[in-house]
């Protein structure tokens, strides 16, 4: 994949995630992907990969933060005993 496609896909995914966060439209990226697919399959594939990576990272980060928060809550409960 060319550097141009990777760079454009990454920036577009970043901007799309910002719109999704602000508007609450969690499937907006699908619309953008469909628009891309009509004119550039290569950019569409790179973009969807960038989106999937970002969404997966976000979900994993939330999991890690929750696990740490739960652990700290348990420690505080034990300290109060």
E strand or H helix at 4, and its extent? helix 3-23
Domain span holding position 66: 3-80
**Distance (Å, rounded) from C-alpha 24 to C-alpha 45?**
24
Reported as a single tens digit per residue, the pLDDT across 22-78 is 999 999 999 999 999 999 999 999 999 999 999 999 999 999 999 999 999 999 999
Residue 81's pLDDT is 83
Of 81 and 14, the structure prediction assigns the larger pLDDT to 14
Mean pLDDT in residue range 1-17 = 94
- At a CB cut-off of 8 Å and minimum separation 6, what does 63 contact? none
**Distance (Å, rounded) from C-alpha 25 to C-alpha 31?**
11
pTM given for the model? 0.85
Number of independent structural domains in the chain: 1
Does the pLDDT value for residue 19 go beyond 80?
A: yes
């Amino acid at each position: 994949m060319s550097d141009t496609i990777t760079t454009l896909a990454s920036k577009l995914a970043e901007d799309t995630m910002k719109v999704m966060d602000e508007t609450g439209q969690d499937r907006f990226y699908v619309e953008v992907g469909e628009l891309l697919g009509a004119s550039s399959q290569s950019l569409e594939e790179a973009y969807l990969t960038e989106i999937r990576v970002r969404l997966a990272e976000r979900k994993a980060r939330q999991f890690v933060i929750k696990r740490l928060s739960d652990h700290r809550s348990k420690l505080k409960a034990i300290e109060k005993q």
